[in-house]
């Protein structure tokens, strides 16, 4: 599965935008955008929304991928990660009861 940085880079390249042009369009510092594209820095929620708007990408798909990467980073090395995800799913579905 492609990481979000790779998707953002691919979309920029499809539009034949230089990094500096894309950073101006997205109103993001060029160095920050470069790090996001190389997966060296995580984009913020606001940046993901901007990417979806400016690159005309499906916002829901991009947000789901972003959240998935965020969750994975936090729990990837935990012994009980899958069990914890099931608990979290129940809390999201039914509330924290």
CA distance 60 to 96: 24
Half-sphere exposure of 40 (CA within 13 A, CB side): 7
Residue 17 lies in domain: 4-94
pTM summary value: 0.83
Q: What is the pLDDT of residues 19-51, one digit of tens each?
A: 999 999 999 999 999 999 999 999 999 999 999
Pick from 60, 89, 36: which is nearest to 81 by CA?
Answer: 89
With H, G, I as helix, E, B as strand and everything else as coil, classify residue 57.
coil
Domain count, the chain: 1
CB atoms within 10 A of CB 29: 10
The CATH number covering residue 26 comes to 1.10.260.40
């Amino acid at each position: 599965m492609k990481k979000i940085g790779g998707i953002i880079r691919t979309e920029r390249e499809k539009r034949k935008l230089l990094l500096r042009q894309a950073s101006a369009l997205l109103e993001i510092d060029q160095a920050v955008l470069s790090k996001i594209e190389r997966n060296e820095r995580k984009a913020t929620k606001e940046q993901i929304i901007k990417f979806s708007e400016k690159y005309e990408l499906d916002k829901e798909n991009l947000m789901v991928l972003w959240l998935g990467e965020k969750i994975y980073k936090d729990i990837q090395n935990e012994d009980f990660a899958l069990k914890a995800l099931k608990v979290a799913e129940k809390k999201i579905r039914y509330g924290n009861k």
